Chain A
């Protein structure tokens, strides 16, 4: 693979051709907020947090779905971008009932942390306060729509890694919901293998282990690397 040279925030950077811009930013240690992106899953480009400015292009681009190109000039933290990222996070907090204080993921939540990092300390939009259900019918896991940000990591991991495609999204727009099979109680699903991958990749408290209470839930994504290394490279590294 050939190497391309690009400029990121006024610094010359070399990268492998075919890499996504987001991967390069991460390698360089540039902090890029993300929510729908998760290494090991296909990219969705839906949360719009990793938007960057490309010189010569009037449109902003999501770094997770943009491939690096020779002579690309990238700005990742302009005033405008930071302002938009804050607004997007505000929109997410206003959309459903994200009450951090009483959430199982308090302290470990990606949404909570992205907001803190960027300095989103209040929400200017009207809280929509939708009346949403919880599904605790599965013997080991719980689904709480109040905390879901529709990143679809659960849908993708179940489809791409587990191969069961239990999850999908129903409806559209603000009425979208993640669903199990025919929008049925999780405990009644015949396709679910109870592997728990969806729970582990969920960035918020929308999916958690039954029995976890406030601030007790922690998630780990290492298994994705482990599975993919095994599949792609026939390497099973038990370290870490």
Chain B
């Protein structure tokens, strides 16, 4: 296939779609499936068949539409009309919906979710532009929306150097958490010497409370593959690995299928789009280890070893997989590549703030009215996310804190609700952008307990290689446990803080270096809560048991 064939394929698919008067898009992403999405999809297909609307109506299983707590979601596209979005759809309701669009019978208004609510209006879809609109299992759907044209353009009109330049100019930064400029990383791998080079897409999304990467992989797998192929061309790699978290079997399956479909059409494999560029992609399934999100541990895992990190330098860009130069990018980062090539670096750099360009996907969860997956321009304030997009805190309670960055991040208190969400601002508050988990907490959450929750996570996920992380996390967890059970002394808080700083500075990899962040951040903003536990044996949120006393008080009894 060449670029002209691609164009033909796109036109044919667009024409095909236009023959339908009404396209009913059913979300087949994990959250909607869990709330009964497949029954809804079946009911719609049945209703279309029974009504004899086969020629006019098309039912499409798509990726995520966003407001997961309102699922199952469906979107109805009518020729000439506006899209109509329905929430909490039941099989019964879906029959009504089909009937309504077929015969203009009354619309089941109680299921309609207005398309202009802030949840949608405040978002900006770049990476997720196709999500919810295409069938992720059909290559044609992706191509019809301009898919693979960016790859074709890069291969024909650009040199590897100009591709790297374009990514540098776009200001794109790694979406996995640290925010390293993506273009610079590419350029480093491009310049590195090696007879073979590799591209790795990091889809080992381990943060509890985050599912951006899974959604992207499930909803628009080809976009990721296209991003990988462009990256491969830019750095001179002919092999890519897609490391998918083991908990995401649907994503892995869809990606495998997408790879096969793309290879069949000559969009991956040998002589991509009739050029001299060869690029193969293999899926590797993770097996449950948070530390594998760290790039050197991830590479160990791809090579079939225990997922233990190794000290850097050398960086993967010089010596990665099998000691060859290796480019590792987060899935969301690679998802931004095709739009940048397609619309240009300047277009991308227009979105966001001075130092944080583009959009960021967040998994908004916890105590907000509407939870789900959102894509917003960098620099939007936390308040807009919580109160406009999320619809505020339910049950008339007050916002207490937002947790970003998962076990590596920190908590942002109400006083900083107007902070713009960008790399620098979040870091200044002692948190990090992280991969995009955003958990909102109300007054019923105890911040000491939250810190303990994350520390327990890090303790379980520590690989055990370096001493500060392996033993330090256990000791920090112990100290937090003492605070929440009431057996801590004021001395313990000091010991805890000391230990946090040491573990942060001496651990071998990012997991250990950031494990103390949730503790340090909660101590910083909620010291009074810690003190209330230790001094007054009181948990204001009513979470902790506090049923024990310090050992030194035993003798006094």
Question: Direct A–B touching in the complex (beta carbon < 8 Å)?
Answer: yes
Smallest CB-CB separation from B463: which chain A residue? Answer: A172
Pick the interface stretch among B93-101, B273-281, B400-408, B497-505. B497-505
> Given B310, B471, B495, B499, which contacts A45 in the complex, CB threshold below 8 Å?
B310
- Which residues of chain A have C-beta atoms less than 8 A from B463's C-beta? 172-173
- Report the nearest B residue to A86, measured CB to CB: B502
Neighbouring B residues of A88 by C-beta, 8 Å = 467-468, 502, 506
Contact of A60 with B505 in the complex, beta carbons under 8 Å: yes
Q: Are A174 and B470 in contact (CB under 8 A)?
A: yes
Known: A174-B462, A175-B464. A87 touches B499 (CB 8 A): yes
Contact with B along A59-100 (1 / 0, CB 8 A): 110100100000000000000000110011001101100000
In the complex, what residue of chain B is closest to A59 when comparing beta carbons?
Answer: B505
Within 8 A of A (CB), among B455-505: 459-468, 470-475, 478, 495, 498-499, 502, 505
- Which of B289, B467, B499 is most buried by chain A, counting CB atoms within 10 A of its CB? B467
Q: Which residues of A contact B300 (CB under 8 A)?
A: none
Chain A residues near B (Cβ < 8 Å): 44-48, 51, 59-60, 62, 65, 83-84, 87-88, 91-92, 94-95, 124-126, 128, 149-150, 169, 171-176
A125-B495, A128-B474 given; A47·B502 CB < 8 A: no
Given A48-B508, A88-B467, A174-B474, 18 more contacts at CB 8 Å? A46-B465, A47-B466, A48-B468, A51-B506, A59-B505, A84-B505, A91-B472, A91-B475, A95-B470, A150-B470, A169-B306, A169-B464, A172-B306, A173-B460, A173-B461, A173-B464, A173-B473, A174-B473
Nearest CB of chain A from residue B456's CB, rounded to whole Å: 11
Q: Which of B459, B499, B506 contacts A48 (CB 8 A)?
A: B506
- Number of residues from B at the complex interface, CB < 8 A: 30
A interface footprint on B325-361 (CB within 8 Å = 1, 0 otherwise)? 0000000000000000000000000000000000000
Are the CB atoms of A174 and B467 closer together than 8 Å? no
Q: Which residues of A contact B466 (CB under 8 A)?
A: 45-48
Minimum C-beta distance from B319 to chain A (A): 13
For the complex, is B80 an interface residue (Cβ under 8 Å from A)? Answer: no
Task: Report how far A124 CA is from B476 CA in the complex, Å.
Answer: 12
Whether A150 and B507, one on each chain, are in contact in the complex, defined by CB atoms closer than 8 angstroms, is no
Partner of B506, one of A60, A92, A94, A150: A60
**Is B311 interfacial (CB 8 A cutoff)?**
yes
Report B246 CB to chain A, min CB distance, Å: 15
B462 and A91 contact, CB distance less than 8 A: no
3 nearest A-B pairs in the assembled complex, by CB-CB distance? A176-B464, A173-B462, A91-B471
CA distance A202 to B306 in the complex (A): 22
Q: Which of B378-425 contact A (CB under 8 A)?
A: none
Among A47, A88, A175, chain B packs the most CB atoms within 10 A around the CB of: A88
A176 close to B470 (CB less than 8 A) = yes
Shortest Cβ distance from residue A23 to the other chain B in the assembled complex, whole angstroms: 16
- Given A169-B464, A173-B460, A174-B462; A95-B471 close (CB under 8 Å): yes
In this complex, what residue of B is CB-closest to A62? Answer: B311
Whether the Cβ atoms of A65 and B505 lie closer than 8 Å is no
Q: Are A48 and B311 in contact (CB under 8 A)?
A: no
The answer for the CA separation of A46 and B467 in the assembled complex, in Å, is 7
CA distance A83 to B505 in the complex (A): 12
23 A-B residue pairs with Cβ-Cβ distance under 8 Å, sorted by A, are: A45-B311, A48-B467, A48-B507, A60-B505, A62-B311, A84-B502, A84-B505, A87-B502, A91-B467, A91-B468, A91-B475, A92-B471, A94-B471, A94-B475, A126-B475, A169-B464, A172-B306, A173-B459, A173-B470, A173-B474, A174-B459, A174-B470, A175-B464
CB neighbours of A150 from chain B (8 A): 464, 470
Contacts of B464 in A (CB 8 A): 150, 169, 171-176
Interface centre among B291, B311, B463, B499 (most CB of A within 10 A): B311
Most buried by B among A48, A91, A124, A149: A48
Taken together as a complex, chains A and B put the C-alpha atoms of A92 and B470 apart, in Å, by 10
**Chain A residues with CB under 8 A of B310:** 45
Tell me, in angstroms, the Cα distance from A169 to B300 when the chains sit together.
15
Give the one of A47, A60, A125, A172 with max B CB within 10 A: A172
Tell me which residues across on chain B come within 8 A of A87, comparing CB atoms: 498-499, 502
A149 CA / B471 CA spacing, docked (Å) = 11
Contact flag A46-B508 (CB < 8 Å), given A125-B495, A173-B461: yes
* Distance between Cα atoms of A169 and B464 in the complex (Å): 10
Q: A50 to nearest B CB, angstroms?
A: 11
- Alpha-carbon distance A88/B499, docked complex (angstroms): 10
Bound form: Cα–Cα A83–B468 in Å: 13
Chain A residues with CB under 8 Å of B471's CB are 91-92, 94-95, 174
